[in-house]
Amino acid sequence: MAHFPNTRMRRNRRDDWNRRLVAENTITANDLILPLFVHDAEKEHTDIPSLPDIQRHSIGSLIDQAGKAKELGIPVVAVFPAIDSSLKDAEGSEAINPENLVCRAVKALKAAHPNLGIMCDVALDPFSDHGHDGLLRDGYVANDETLKVLAEQAVVQASAGCDIIAPSDMMDGRVGSIRTALDSAGHEAVRILAYSAKYASALYGPFRDAVGSTSNLANGEKKTYQMDPANSDEALREVAMDIAEGADMVMVKPGLFYLDIIRRVREEFGMPTFAYQVSGEYAMIKGAAENGWLDWDSTIMESLLAFKRAGANGVLTYAAIEVAQRLGEG
């Protein structure tokens, strides 16, 4: 055991160069995934009031934003659609249209930025008129029937050029169904980043505003398929199932309130593990910064370091471009 005064822990904290030299965790642009919202509208982009400084983009504007991300060294962008309400129905049928907004956006992104990774969410909530992630039957989301639609959705996205399929629906057996469908369609190289431990959190509100699913969410909650925030062991069972079914990477969502889950997943499985700094987490920090209560740069960087310290390989964050710009400035 080290003893004072021979050991002085503050010595290695004295200078900036020394603090950088002994840092146990760092953030680089390679650790970031940028979520982007796309809409079919005449305006290049529209603001999302509950997500300060974040916009819905036209496909042209989306290409520009993705280009900025690529130039800054961000390896992947994730595409989330705001679907016109006239295209939504109870079956979420627009999700399997090979010419839907997501597929057209992915094709355009791949044509413009062929070396940029593209990630696509698999779930029915942006496409359904009831706002749930699966097919609603007598007020309950039908698991097995939903799997068939999710598999079709994954295939049309992969055929459009999506590199990473990210099932966020939390149906039992979805990873296996999607892996089988992708392989059968010749997409063996397409990766699956599973939202394996996705909790029924109160922190998704701004995201639902962004994709337009807030006002039509039947029953107002998703507790029958997303995880109970009280549970930790259950998360390990969910992750184990997804790995066994063919997941290449796993995710914990939300991130900041669930650092203990990230740590347990990484230690238990040693799998590439990602965190989603969800819309509510981003909005809280951004809102506090805009009110002068917190310093934005310091707080957002500290939050990302918390994910890395917990064991995350990377983070989906709406702040990715701002963070990468700051990192580039040294």
Tokens 């982009």: give the residue: 45
Tokens 């005064």: give the residue: 5
DSSP 5-44: TT--GGGGGSSHHHHHHT-S----GGGEEEEEEEE-SSSS
Cite the active site residues.
198, 253
DSSP 261-292: HHHHHHHHH---EEEEE-HHHHHHHHHHHHTT
DSSP 189-213: T-EEEEEEEEB--S--HHHHHHHT-
Nearest to 265 by CA among 312, 305, 223, 230: 312
Q: Is 270 left (phi over 0), alpha (psi -120 to 50) or beta?
A: left
* Crossing angle of the two packed helices 174-184 and 143-160, in degrees rounded to 10: 40
The two structure tokens encoding residue 258: 């669930």
**Cα dist. 87→96, 208, 216, 241 in Å?**
12, 17, 14, 34
